[in-house]
């Protein structure tokens, strides 16, 4: 049986409300996954992904980075918030680290077997957490923003990195992918970049087409293949569930 619940924690001077999902039928500490949502915040899509991970045996924790569990619907407000975080990677990392600490403090979590994943801006968050040198074994981004104001910090990455992006993503063009590859190589990171033909931005989210934004669309095969690529990396880095 999958149990879920809200977990309050403090981060960057703000009260955050995350979402924990795990399978009560499994005993003992288990590997865990920290999930970072898109720019809008922790919504039903992200909670469903946490439940899917829990059904596979992981403890999954969806983080809150706006505070108080807020989910934004106004695109202009979202973009304004993003500018604050992208201009200050250390602040982004602080909020991610607070969520990681909250997850690792859970009694049924093995704190030595943790991965961080994220969608869109959440993928950026997972990468920034890895760049901080956090004790995570894997960092995975789906249609993730790859740019950072502190590329030199790639040398601190301890995790194995997997990026799953669409080749037609208008938010993450070729130039950004190239800079990311150079950053990872300069940092000596164990990394992979999977590009999915025909896919654009938000390819994991059903209904993305309805947003009416150029290059945003759900892509079923890219969604399924990227999820499997993530599970393959988890098997390699987190061990058995």
Arithmetic mean of pLDDT, 26-36 = 95
CA dihedral (7, 11, 15, 16) positive or negative:
negative
Condensed to tens digits (0 to 9), the pLDDT of residues 186-217 reads 999 999 999 999 999 999 999 999 989 999 99
pLDDT at 16: 97
pLDDT at 221: 98
Task: Tell me what pLDDT residue 32 has.
Answer: 98
Non-local (6+) Cβ contacts of 201 within 8 A are: 120, 143, 166, 169, 170, 171, 172, 208, 213, 215, 216, 217
- If pLDDT is split at 50, 70 and 90, which confidence band does 223 have? very high
CATH class as words, domain 2-237: alpha beta
- Summarize the confidence of residues 124-132 as an average pLDDT: 98
Does 27 score more than 90 pLDDT?
no
- DSSP-based three-state secondary structure for 53: helix
Q: Is there a contact between 155 and 175 (Cβ–Cβ < 8 Å)?
A: no
Per-residue model confidence as pLDDT tens digits over 67-94: 999 999 898 998 898 898 999 999 999 9
- pLDDT interval class at 103 (50, 70, 90): very high
Task: Give the pTM.
Answer: 0.97
**In the chain, what is the straight-line distance between the N-terminal and C-terminal CA atoms, in Å?**
16
pLDDT recorded at residue 26: 87
**Helix residue spans in 107-214 (DSSP H):** 121-131, 174-186
Residue 235 has pLDDT above 90, yes or no: yes
What is the structure's pLDDT at 144?
98
Q: Please answer whether residues 82 and 36 qualify as being in contact, where contact means their C-beta atoms are separated by less than 8 angstroms.
A: no
- The closest alpha carbon to 18, from 94, 74, 100, belongs to 100
Instruction: Give me the residue spans of the domains in the chain.
Output: 2-237
Residue 140: per-residue pLDDT: 99
Rounded Cα gap, residues 123 and 34, in angstroms: 11
What pLDDT does 228 receive?
A: 98
- Write down the pLDDT at residue 55: 98
Percent of the chain scoring above 70 in pLDDT: 100
Q: pLDDT band at residue 28, thresholds of 50, 70 and 90?
A: confident
The pLDDT of residue 158 is above 90: yes
Beta bridge partners of 114: 32
């Amino acid at each position: 049986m999958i149990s879920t619940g809200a977990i309050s924690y403090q981060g960057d001077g703000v009260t955050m409300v995350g979402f924990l999902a795990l399978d009560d039928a499994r005993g003992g500490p288990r590997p865990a996954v920290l999930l970072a949502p898109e720019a809008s915040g922790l919504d039903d899509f992200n909670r469903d992904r946490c439940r899917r991970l829990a059904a596979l045996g992981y403890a999954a924790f969806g983080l809150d980075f706006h505070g108080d569990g807020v989910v934004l619907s106004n695109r202009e407000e979202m973009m304004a918030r993003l500018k604050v975080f992208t201009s200050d990677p250390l602040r982004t990392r602080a909020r991610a680290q607070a969520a990681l600490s909250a997850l690792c403090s859970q009694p049924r979590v093995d704190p030595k077997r943790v991965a961080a994943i994220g969608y869109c801006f959440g993928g950026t968050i997972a990468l920034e957490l890895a760049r901080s040198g956090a004790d995570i074994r894997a960092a995975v981004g789906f249609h993730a923003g790859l740019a950072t104001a502190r590329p030199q910090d790639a040398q601190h990455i301890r995790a194995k990195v997997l990026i799953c992006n669409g080749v037609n993503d208008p938010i993450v063009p070729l130039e950004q992918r190239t800079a990311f590859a150079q950053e990872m190589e300069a940092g000596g990171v164990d990394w992979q970049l999977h590009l999915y033909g025909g896919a654009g931005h938000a390819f994991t989210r059903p209904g993305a087409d309805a947003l009416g934004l150029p290059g945003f669309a759900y892509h079923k095969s890219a969604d399924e293949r990227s999820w499997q690529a993530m599970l393959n990396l988890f098997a390699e880095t987190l061990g058995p569930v």
